[in-house]
């Protein structure tokens, strides 16, 4: 661990924690600028999970032997770490799922299935990742409810001037939006939307998949009713995500997945559900993955979320400054002060996939595509963009490598 809480982070020192950076890609130092897609894993998480498997692995909540008790306390210890990380009031409100997508589907199906019907409306924004768009669209249609989308304004923010008209003409039951856009990197002030949602008597569902890795989250201060996050984007393993939900809402909901582990009693005429959180955790849990997420949270908190956020702002400002000079570049999204470490761009006349492929030859990993945001791409008038994204281990030299690579791409297509 290279820094202590409250200090500016030292990305160069932190990189030593990440074995992936020990290699070269195509004979060049690896510039991993795809962290919004998924983050790399520090040795602390990798070693923690290996030790867990080697010393403490068994199934959880089902047996009384020593290993089962160790595994159960590993999983439940991680749940408490997540609770504290999110400042959730009660550990039973922390539901382990596979990823943010599953968390959002859980709410759409289990809450929407019982609470949405004809005459109701679900509101999302044009900036949503498909994971916070498609489940709502699908469940709304299945339930006979309306599915509405807030368009973005010229600044790329949800256009709140549409809210009055929506409130006048619709019974809004759900407002679902992200806190940080995976495509533009914008950090949103959700307060007006949360307030408006609650004035309508709607629930507010926050997709915090991109926010949780980068900034301090406080579900109580946010005022959301449900919050979804993914472990793999915040230095944890893949296969683990979290749904936090307000206890009274979770209590009132039907389960999403059914089977072992989530029941109280099973009889041929009737099955009753277990207590929270187990009601929503059918089947064998992602045990080591949850443990690994707990280690990742320790890792992030030792560095300090404030330090991570500040580091990303610096990198975003640095990148935006250099990229602006690349001939024929179009940059998307707000100024550095309002964004996490995400920069989307296109090079005039060059397909993003060609850009990404040529960059890979010089060791630079970026994402090219629609970023699971097709409605936003339509608004921007493009099929795809390039996206470079940064994290706590990103150093300015990697951004230099990106920019040099883009000049090389320009030469190839000159
Ligand atoms: C804003 C946002 N929401 C949801 C998701 C879905 O996350 P996962 O694929 O881990 O379910 C992503 C992943 O890129 C995302 O960026």
Contact between residue 87 and residue 217 where contact means Cβ atoms under 8 Å apart: yes
Nearest CA to ligand 1 atom 12: 209
Residue 368: partners with Cβ closer than 8 Å, 6 or more residues away: 352, 353, 355, 356, 384, 385, 386, 387
- Of 370, 49, 112, 388, whose CA–CA distance to 240 is shortest? 49
Which of 211, 230, 296 most suits a substitution to test ligand 1, by most atoms within 8 Å of the C-beta? 230
Which of 101, 178, 289 most suits a substitution to test ligand 1, by most atoms within 8 Å of the C-beta? 101
Confidence of residue 4 (pLDDT cuts 50, 70, 90): very low
Confidence of residue 154 (pLDDT cuts 50, 70, 90): confident
- Measured from CB, residues less than 6 Å from any atom of ligand 1 are 99-101, 129, 131-132, 178, 182, 207, 209-210, 230
pLDDT tens-place string over residues 155-195 = 889 999 999 999 999 999 999 999 999 999 999 999 999 99
Distance 243 CA to ligand 1 centre (A): 13
pLDDT of 2 > 60? The answer is: no
Task: Provide the b/e sequence for 15-24 (b: ≥16 CB within 10 Å).
Answer: bebbeebeee
**First CA to last CA across the chain, in angstroms?**
45
The pLDDT of residue 155 is 85
Across the range 214-223, mean pLDDT stands at 97
Which of 34, 35, 36, 100 most suits a substitution to test ligand 1, by most atoms within 8 Å of the C-beta? 100
Distance 45 CA to ligand 1 centre (A): 21
The pLDDT of residue 6 is 56
pLDDT tens-place string over residues 269-322 = 999 999 999 999 999 999 999 999 999 999 999 999 999 999 999 999 999 999
Distance 54 CA to ligand 1 centre (A): 31
Q: Which atom of ligand 1 is nearest to the CA of 181?
A: 1
pLDDT tens-place string over residues 84-107 = 999 999 999 999 999 999 999 999
Catalytic residues: 372
Confidence of residue 382 (pLDDT cuts 50, 70, 90): very high
**What's the pTM?**
0.97
Q: How far apart are CA 356 and CA 66, in angstroms?
A: 50
The pLDDT of residue 5 is 46
Determine which of 1-15, 28-42, 71-85, 349-363 has the lowest per-residue pLDDT on average.
Answer: 1-15
């Amino acid at each position: 661990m290279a820094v202590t809480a409250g200090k500016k982070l030292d990305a160069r020192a932190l990189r030593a924690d990440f074995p992936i950076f020990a290699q070269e890609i195509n004979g060049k130092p690896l510039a991993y600028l795809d962290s919004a897609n998924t983050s790399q894993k520090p040795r602390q998480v990798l070693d923690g999970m290996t030790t867990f498997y080697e010393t403490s692995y068994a199934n959880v909540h089902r047996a009384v032997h020593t290993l089962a008790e160790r595994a159960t306390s590993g999983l439940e210890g991680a749940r408490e770490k997540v609770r504290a990380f999110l400042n959730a009031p009660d550990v039973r409100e922390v539901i382990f799922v596979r990823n943010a997508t599953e968390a959002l589907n859980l709410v759409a199906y289990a809450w929407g299935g019982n609470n949405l019907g004809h005459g109701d409306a679900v509101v999302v924004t044009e900036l949503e990742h498909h994971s916070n768009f498609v489940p709502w669209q699908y469940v709304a249609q299945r339930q006979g409810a309306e599915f509405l989308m807030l368009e973005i304004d010229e600044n790329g923010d949800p256009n709140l001037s549409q809210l009055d008209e929506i409130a006048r003409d619709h019974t809004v039951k759900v407002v679902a939006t992200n806190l940080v856009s995976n495509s533009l990197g914008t950090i949103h002030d959700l307060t007006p939307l949360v307030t408006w949602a609650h004035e309508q008597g709607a629930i507010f569902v926050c997709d915090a998949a991109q926010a949780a890795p980068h900034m301090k989250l406080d579900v109580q201060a946010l005022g959301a009713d449900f919050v979804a996050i993914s472990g793999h984007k915040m230095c944890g393993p893949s296969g683990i995500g979290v749904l936090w939900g307000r206890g009274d809402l979770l209590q009132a909901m039907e389960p999403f997945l059914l089977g072992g582990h989530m029941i109280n009693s099973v009889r041929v005429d009737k099955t009753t559900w277990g207590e929270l959180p187990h009601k929503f955790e059918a089947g064998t849990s992602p045990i080591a993955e949850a443990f690994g997420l707990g280690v990742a949270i320790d890792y992030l908190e030792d560095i300090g979320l404030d330090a991570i956020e500040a580091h990303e702002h610096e990198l975003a400002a640095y990148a935006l400054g250099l990229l602006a000079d690349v001939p024929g570049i179009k940059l998307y999204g707000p100024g550095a002060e309002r964004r996490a470490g995400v920069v989307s761009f296109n090079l005039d006349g060059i397909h993003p996939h060609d850009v990404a492929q040529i960059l890979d030859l010089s060791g630079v990993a970026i994402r090219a595509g629609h970023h699971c945001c097709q409605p936003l791409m339509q608004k921007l008038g493009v099929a795809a963009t390039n996206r470079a994204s940064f994290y706590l281990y990103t150093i300015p030299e990697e951004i230099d490598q990106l920019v040099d690579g883009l000049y090389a791409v320009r030469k190839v297509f000159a």
